Amino acid sequence: MFSPDPEFQNVSMLYTPEWNGLVEGPTWNAWWVQNSYGPTYCALPFYQEPYLTFLQNSQDLWFDQMGDGKRKEYHDWVAPDGCLCDAARPGWIVYKQGDGRIDIHDWGMEFTAAGLLLQSELLLSERDPNKIREDLPKLRRCANFLETRRDPENNLYLAGPAGNLLAPSYAGWKRSDGTYDKAYLAGLSVTTIAALDRLILLERMAGSSEWVSKLTERRDLSKKGLSLLTTEEGYLIKSLDPDGTKHGVFGAGNHGYFESSPNHDAVAFRVVPDKQAEQIYTKIASIPGLRPYRFILPNYPGLDDMYREPDDWLWKFGTWVNGGHWSTCEARMIMAYYRLGKFDDIRESMNQLLTFARDFRMDNPLVEFGSKVYQPKQPINLCYDSLGPPAAMIRGLFEYLYLEDGLKLIPHIPPSVTELDQLFPVRFGKKKVFISTKGVGKIRAVHVNGGEWSNFDRDSVLLPDATTPDEAWVEILFEEDVPESSSPEELQPLFGESIDSSTSDTDVQALEDRLTPIKRFLSILNELGLGKS
């Protein structure tokens, strides 16, 4: 789905010449942070040109028009400096969630954190020092804007109505007089921590020791604050009101739903340690209503704390942000599955997605708890969100953690897959990495371009910037060998009779003659520096 394909829709169908970039979909003429969060993060390692340029041009719509405390945009909103948006296109940007009671909506708080993460991850994968230096001032402004909402008393982040990523499902703190104010939002903490993790790496690459120290302190304090949002079972609640009321404690008399996004994101982005990640998954698996059609829902049961009653089609449980399914969330859920080795869940998710993909109905969100399309009158549809799960299925195999000085591969290969050859390249700056594996279990040896490689442990492989070849063929050998493939004598012809493979010298010469024009063309490409294009 990330290159032209005779069977499935693909990302090239979302190109728009209007900004020489990607668009959310044929009925959605803009570029959203929330919708692109999962698919972009998961696809970044293997995006090649021109898609990388298309993606950057789309994300530039957010950063080139970001709030500066002066510019007046949609609805005459003047956003604070560093504020990103819900969605943007050339000459148009929406600094708050644009649906619902927009008069009480907060600025796009978690939108800003997610946008900061995506651009930081893109820069980490590109590893272009000039581009990093060019973008860091904007990224720092985003980080400083987020810091204005961190309460130094508890290191939690305040957000008002619709300040969450899947807005406007979150209403903030409902006061006794019926008005709404800010509460401590778990998703904002999780996404900000994950964004700061990546921004710190960029600052290290740029040699900005002062910013490294400043951002590391903020990140570490934010992690400490998470304990106040963690239940005894280890999962995260949705939010905490200043008066102590908790939202998202599953089974409680009030607000007793489970909120998925902060939990699967905390696992996917490694915000929580392994033990807590397992606890979160255990809770998700114990609630069948969260995955009635294999896909993860944002909440179960329905929300009882929105700023309006779920009394019409859009707001009722199972349709939109209150229990409808979003593939951008499924992508991050799949990354969480991979981290924990939940391969059956991944397979079931992808099989469910294919029921829509085969019919060219890659719509989003999916209504009726993830079982039907949002726009049933569109006979063919494609939304960028829908590409998230297949992207996650690829990224999750090796996770691809971009560091300040290298790329770490953490294999998550199903035990039923005893041999894997990933023949498309993964980007590591200007380097191209091809990966193969053999066996099952823990890592016992690694080869790069046929030579022994010492930078590995039982769980991961490190490819340092300084020593990784420009074209690296990485072979990972696991502890438990598998039986060798059958010998040619044991193989049976696929269609009954074997084919005579004997050839004469004349046949070989004829083949050589036919290859001559291709060899000449390749030689010209090499002379022009385009041999690997």
pLDDT in tens, 298-329: 999 999 999 999 999 999 999 999 999 999 99
pLDDT of 68 above 80: yes
Structure confidence at residue 524 as a pLDDT band (50, 70, 90): confident
User: What's the rounded Cα separation, in Å, for the pair 87 and 95?
Assistant: 8
User: What's the rounded Cα separation, in Å, for the pair 489 and 361?
Assistant: 46
Mean pLDDT of 231-244: 99
Determine what percent of the chain is predicted with pLDDT higher than 70: 95
Q: Same domain, yes or no, for 89 and 39?
A: yes
Q: Same domain, yes or no, for 86 and 212?
A: yes
Identify the pLDDT of residue 526. Answer: 83
Structure confidence at residue 528 as a pLDDT band (50, 70, 90): confident
Structure tokens at 283: 């809770």
Does the residue 493 lie in any domain?
A: no
Length of the chain: 533
Structure tokens at 227: 């304990």
Q: Same domain, yes or no, for 145 and 263?
A: yes
Predicted model pTM: 0.92
pLDDT by residue (tens digit) across 330-362?
A: 999 999 999 999 999 999 999 999 999 999 999
Structure tokens at 210: 């002062």
In the block, which residue shows the tokens 């009394």? 311
Identify the pLDDT of residue 495. Answer: 38
pLDDT of 480 above 50: yes
Q: Same domain, yes or no, for 416 and 370?
A: no
User: What's the rounded Cα separation, in Å, for the pair 42 and 178?
Assistant: 41
Does the residue 498 lie in any domain?
A: no
Q: Same domain, yes or no, for 347 and 288?
A: yes
Q: What angle do CA 472, 474, 478 make, to 5 degrees?
A: 170
Identify the pLDDT of residue 483. Answer: 65
Phi, psi of 74, rounded to the nearest 5 degrees: -45, 135
pLDDT of 529 above 60: yes
pLDDT by residue (tens digit) across 368-413?
A: 999 999 999 999 999 999 999 999 999 999 999 999 999 999 999 9
Dihedral of alpha carbons 365, 367, 373, 378, sign: negative
In the block, which residue shows the tokens 């708080």? 109
Q: Same domain, yes or no, for 313 and 425?
A: no
Residue 531's CB: how many other CB atoms inside 10 A? 11
Residue type, 187: G
Element (H, E) at 158: strand 156-159
Q: Of 361, 383, 402, at which residue does a domain stop? A: 402
Element (H, E) at 202: helix 186-206
Q: Of 402, 426, 457, at which residue does a domain stop? A: 402
CA-based nearest residue to 397, from 350, 458, 455, 337: 337
With 0-12 / 13-18 / 19 or more C-beta atoms within 10 angstroms meaning exposed / middle / buried, residue 434 is: middle
Identify the pLDDT of residue 500. Answer: 53
CA separation (Å) from 4 to 10, 12, 13, 17, 385? 6, 7, 9, 18, 18
- Is residue 410 within 8 Å of 460, Cβ to Cβ? yes
How many helices (H) and strands (E) are present in the chain, helices listed first?
13, 26
Residue 362's CB: how many other CB atoms inside 10 A? 25
pLDDT by residue (tens digit) across 122-135?
A: 999 999 999 999 99
Alpha helices in 399-501 (DSSP H): none
Q: Of 370, 402, 434, at which residue does a domain stop? A: 402
**CB half-sphere exposure, 235, CA atoms < 13 A:** 23
Identify the pLDDT of residue 486. Answer: 45
Alpha helices in 288-410 (DSSP H): 327-340, 343-357, 367-370, 388-398
Q: Same domain, yes or no, for 86 and 197?
A: yes
Q: Same domain, yes or no, for 45 and 166?
A: yes
In the block, which residue shows the tokens 């279990």? 441
pLDDT by residue (tens digit) across 431-460?
A: 999 999 999 999 999 999 999 999 999 999
User: What's the rounded Cα separation, in Å, for the pair 96 and 101?
Assistant: 11
Does the residue 246 lie in any domain?
A: yes
User: What's the rounded Cα separation, in Å, for the pair 116 and 67?
Assistant: 14
- The one-character DSSP state at 230 is B
Which residues, other chains included, contact 381 with Cβ-Cβ below 8 Å and sequence gap of 6+? 25, 26, 27, 360, 361, 362, 363, 373, 375
- CATH of residue 251's domain is 1.50.10.10
Mean pLDDT of 223-236: 99
- CATH of residue 417's domain is 2.60.420
Q: Which residue has the higher pLDDT, 481 or 220?
A: 220
Mean pLDDT of 44-63: 98
Which residues, other chains included, contact 526 with Cβ-Cβ below 8 Å and sequence gap of 6+? none
pLDDT of 484 above 90: no
- Is residue 330 within 8 Å of 293, Cβ to Cβ? no
Q: Are strands 183-185 and 150-151 parallel, antiparallel or unpaired?
A: unpaired
Does the residue 39 lie in any domain?
A: yes
pLDDT by residue (tens digit) across 100-113?
A: 999 999 999 999 99
pLDDT of 497 above 80: no
pLDDT by residue (tens digit) across 153-177?
A: 999 999 999 999 999 999 999 999 9
Structure tokens at 459: 């769980």
Q: Same domain, yes or no, for 354 and 437?
A: no
User: Can you give the residue range of the structural domain that contains 123?
Assistant: 11-402
Which residues, other chains included, contact 299 with Cβ-Cβ below 8 Å and sequence gap of 6+? 169, 238, 248, 257, 258, 259, 260, 322, 323
Split into its structural domains, the chain has a count of 2
Q: Same domain, yes or no, for 391 and 429?
A: no
Q: Same domain, yes or no, for 309 and 449?
A: no
Phi, psi of 120, rounded to the nearest 5 degrees: -65, -45
Q: Same domain, yes or no, for 410 and 376?
A: no
Does the residue 184 lie in any domain?
A: yes
Identify the pLDDT of residue 491. Answer: 42
Q: Which residue has the higher pLDDT, 491 or 220?
A: 220
pLDDT of 533 above 70: no
What separation, in Å, do the N-terminal and C-terminal C-alpha atoms of the chain show?
20
Does the residue 260 lie in any domain?
A: yes
Does the residue 529 lie in any domain?
A: no
Does the residue 510 lie in any domain?
A: yes
Structure tokens at 468: 């990784």
Looking at every residue in the chain, the average pLDDT score rounds to 95
